[in-house]
Amino acid sequence: MFTEPASRGPLIGAAVGLGLAIVAGGYYWHNRHATPAATAAPPAAPAAAPAPAIEHPLPAADASKGPLPDLGDSDQPFGDALKDSSGGSLASFLVPENLIRNIVVTIDNLPRQKVAVSRRPIVPAPGTLVAKGDELHATLGAQNYQRYAPLIDALRQLDMKRVAAVYLRFYPLFQKAYQDLGYPNDYFNDRLVKVIDGLMVTPQVTGPIDLVRPNVMYLFADPALESRPAGQKLLIRMGPENAQVVKQKLSELRAIIAAAPPRP
């Protein structure tokens, strides 16, 4: 038996929290220089690089619902909106602190090799992951897939149109959180669509998955699997049937928030 990496929950958290799942709360710096009399003016500063074109623009938020809270005060209203959109099925899974920020961090991490465990937006799956065999030859036990059953059931119940409406409503706060990560000129929804596209091409592994244990944690024995992004490895680890549910919901979300179909 071995303990699964604690990042096991973020993928569903991303799918659930957005639907998973913001105006951009950027800032600017301005310094005023006085030019002394009888001296030459300083050379003009080079023009700032233009912001990248937005690939998947979203409509403006519905102002009839009133102003949004500040990002730091958004946990309760955003969490309540998510719970309402899910009929309450998400209530027991959400980590209520820094919810939007943690969703943004998790989504940004999914194409990378590691996910920030401390920033996951939902509680981890219960129990520990069991490897069949011994340290010399082990495989991922299919019984582990059942640990995800409650989360997957909650995900199945989601109406992605309602969840997407929550995302669109709170999008300026998602954008602000994304800029605060160090992307002042980038558009979070473009990143989200790109992440979804990367998850959708995760291979479906139906046979036994061999594991190796070079140190404390088990890894996929197949280098082609182990080298995949963290989000794809999470999908593989939860089993093909559970992964298919996540992919279906992400596909429904993408159809709502993306301006263009996925590239081949």
Mean pLDDT value of segment 200-224: 89
Distance CA 10, CA 12 (A): 6
Tell me which DSSP letter residue 260 carries. S
Instruction: Provide the pLDDT for residue 44.
Output: 54
Instruction: Provide the pLDDT for residue 208.
Output: 87
HSE (side-chain half, CA atoms, 13 Å) at 192: 32
Pairwise pLDDT comparison (183 vs 60), residue with the higher score: 183
Instruction: Provide the pLDDT for residue 60.
Output: 79
Instruction: Provide the pLDDT for residue 247.
Output: 96
CA-wise closest residue to 21 among 241, 201, 189: 189
Q: Is the pLDDT reported for residue 229 higher than 70?
A: yes
Distance CA 193, CA 254 (A): 6
Pairwise pLDDT comparison (258 vs 34), residue with the higher score: 258
181 burial type by CB count under 10 A (0-12 exposed, 13-18 middle, 19+ buried): middle
Q: What is the pTM of this model?
A: 0.80
Distance CA 171, CA 164 (A): 10
Distance CA 238, CA 243 (A): 6
Backbone dihedral region of 10: left (phi > 0), alpha (psi from -120 to 50 degrees) or beta? alpha
Distance CA 264, CA 262 (A): 6
Tell me which DSSP letter residue 42 carries. P
